[in-house]
Structure 1
Amino acid sequence: MSRVISYNINPNINVQTGVHKTYFPVRGRGLTNEELRNQKTDDFGENGFYLRPDNKHYVYYYPQEFVAPSETGEDKYVIFQYCHCIVEGHLPADIEIHSTIVPRDTYCDSLVYYCNLQPPDDNRKYKVNTNKKMGFEIWFTDAKGDKVIVPDSFVVFLKLIY
């Protein structure tokens, strides 16, 4: 026996109150030289990203709901959860993931975590301070942070709180 729920009758009732959370998987892969030349900076197309050829950074846009001005003025956060990364057909644990979601200061550079290792908790939580920030960059380096690496493929699992 089914039960009628009020928001099925009146679609104008807002059933989600308080803080909004959404999981935001970010996918990327290496591109061929032809794909690099044919990329468009204004429309990421089926890839969902733009790979900058000059520094090998992947560029992504936040979802529209996240960048829209908050009605209540609540702070917005990005939480890093995990990164699955394949490099030369392997799952290395010594590849660093970096991102512009990390605020730069004297104590913290762009390092988020190591790929293919599960963080022990949700303490990789970064505040997004402005509604003007429409996107972010992700890149990978070796364990020393010297050499930028373009992986075969990767998925970064993020949680957005807004």
Structure 2
Amino acid sequence: MTEVLLRDVDDADLEVFYEQQREEEAVRRARFPARDRDRFLTHWRTKVLGNPTGHVQTVTVDGEVAGNIVAWWQDDRRFVGYWFGQRFWGRGVGTAALRQFLRREQVRPLHADLFVGNTASVRLLERCGFRSVDTDRDGDPEFVVLRLDEG
């Protein structure tokens, strides 16, 4: 049986996250361009890990780093986002990890915005109770906003 766990981020995890965000299929599905190493590490160390209101967790599968889940404030809304290495897709890892994260992250409503064509990610969020509330983010109708109100 696969053991999916959350833990605090170690500096060594950033190298794994960097490689995962470069995977071509993940970039295509997320419609989020990969960053070069210096920009990626600077972003993570200053904006993600350096954000005192953020909630950041490494996701492990049987002890191996599978990805990450992050919650942050953007304007007056709390958002959640995640990124998993491609070899962990389709195994229930995302659903198990997000359900654990949502038990720890108590702010509601909680939002997620993603490329509307990333149907696997939309389904993952819906399995965890999120519902579509908007199909326009910053004037871009190709993105959908989902919201979790309770749970």
| Alignment TM-score, normalising by the size of structure 2 | 0.28
Say which one has the larger Rg.
Answer: 1
Structure richer in helix, relative to its length: 2
Higher RCO, Cα 8 Å, sep 6+:
1
Structure with bigger strand share is 1
